[in-house]
């Protein structure tokens, strides 16, 4: 089954396995945690207005697709201001982590306001998760993976804390397959990082380097330039 959209310059199987997918650069843009923290420090007060409703359809779809069972444990990596929190069924146990104290502060206000006793929030770096191996049933990164300095390292941490047979889910914008859009996204990426994300994260290269095999990839939001990527942890 072909999971990636058709590219006029490369065959689909090259896109999935990609002869150089295991080694090529994931993005033209290099970032560090300090820079990202600074960006989100500034964004925290306007985040819900700018990235709230515009990206909500994808968040709703992701949680529908998870079909969370009573007692399931969910780790949300990069919980931000908590835009996803009210979408989780209260029969699950949710832990949200984020690097930014300003974003977490907003999430904490939301948890108190909406009395979400099934949610716990912790300040933590996604690249260095302070949880035991195999701790969670679902590990979910909404709109995070194109923000972090080392997406593959974060994916490895997400895999480590996910139980065998559990799900690892990414909701994100990735580099387009078409040559015109992808060229524009590469050019814009050093600018978009200033509003919180890289526009050119290469999905096939990311999956190959993180040794993840998606069970589904679905386009979400309008315009349909965001992807919901679901993987099952095999180890
Ligand atoms: C685009 S926001 C997404 C927030 C939320 N998940 C949503 O759906 O709106 C990205 C979040 O990732 C957080 N973040 C960035 N780098 C991180 C890291 N290394 N570890 C944990 N969180 C990080 C940022 O502070 C920010 O809150």
- For residue 12 the two structure tokens come to 């689909």
Q: Is the CB of 18 under 6 A from ligand 1?
A: no
Tell how far the Cα of 105 is from the centroid of ligand 1, in angstroms: 13
Low-confidence residues of the chain, pLDDT below 70? 1-18
Is the CB–ligand 1 distance for residue 203 below 6 Å? no
Q: What is the pLDDT of residues 144-186, one digit of tens each?
A: 999 999 999 999 999 999 999 999 999 999 999 999 999 999 9
List the structure tokens of 96. Answer: 């949200």
Residues 95/120, Cβ–Cβ less than 8 Å: yes
Q: Alpha-carbon distance 103 to 170, whole Å? A: 20
Reading phi first (left if > 0) and then psi (alpha if -120 to 50, else beta), residue 82 is in left
Best probe residue, ligand 1, of 61, 97, 108, 144 (max atoms within 8 Å of C-beta): 144
Q: Is 20-232 CATH 3.40.50.150?
A: yes
11 Cα: distance to centroid of ligand 1 (angstroms): 33
What pLDDT is stored for residue 10 in this prediction? 38
Dump the DSSP string for the chain. ---S---SSS-HHHHHT-TTTTTS-S-S----HHHHHHHHHHHTTTHHHHTSGGGHHHHHHHHHHH-PPTT-EEEEES-TT-TTGGGS-TTSEEEEEES-HHHHHHHHHHHHHTT-TTEEEEE--TTS--S-TT-EEEEEEET-TTTSS-HHHHHHHHHHTEEEEEEEEEEEE---SSHHHHHHHHHHHHHHGGGT--TT--HHHHHHHHT--EEEEEEESSSS-EEEEEEE---
Domain boundaries, the chain: 20-232
> Does 36 contact ligand 1 (Cβ within 6 A)?
yes
Does ligand 1 have an atom closer than 6 angstroms to the CB of 84? yes
Residue of 31, 32, 63, 78 with the most ligand 1 atoms within 8 Å of its CB, for mutation: 78
Q: How confident is the model at residue 18, as a pLDDT?
A: 60
* Closest Cα to atom 9 of ligand 1: 83
**pLDDT, position 235:** 80
> Is residue 104 lining ligand 1, measured as CB closer than 6 Å?
no
């Amino acid at each position: 089954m072909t999971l990636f959209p058709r590219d006029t310059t490369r065959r689909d199987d090259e896109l999935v396995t990609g002869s150089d997918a295991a080694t090529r650069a994931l993005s033209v843009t290099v970032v560090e945690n300090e820079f990202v923290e600074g960006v989100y420090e500034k964004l925290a007060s306007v985040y819900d207005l700018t990235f709230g409703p515009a990206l909500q359809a994808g968040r709703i779809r992701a949680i529908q697709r998870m079909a969370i069972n009573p007692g399931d444990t969910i780790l949300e990596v990069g919980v931000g201001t908590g835009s996803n929190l009210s979408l989780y069924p209260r029969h699950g146990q949710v832990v949200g982590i984020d690097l930014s104290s300003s974003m977490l502060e907003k999430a904490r206000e939301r948890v108190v306001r909406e009395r979400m006793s099934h949610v716990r929030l912790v300040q933590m770096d996604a690249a260095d998760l302070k949880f035991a191996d195999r701790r969670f049933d679902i590990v979910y990164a909404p709109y995070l993976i194109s923000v972090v300095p080392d997406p593959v390292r974060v994916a490895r941490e997400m895999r480590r804390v996910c139980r065998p047979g559990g799900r690892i889910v990414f909701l994100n914008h990735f580099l387009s397959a078409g040559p015109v859009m992808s060229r524009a996204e590469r050019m814009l990426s050093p600018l978009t990082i200033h509003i919180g994300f890289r526009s050119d994260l290469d999905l096939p290269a990311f999956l190959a380097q993180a040794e993840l095999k998606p069970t589904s990839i679905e386009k979400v939001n309008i315009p349909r330039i965001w992807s919901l990527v679901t993987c099952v942890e095999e180890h």
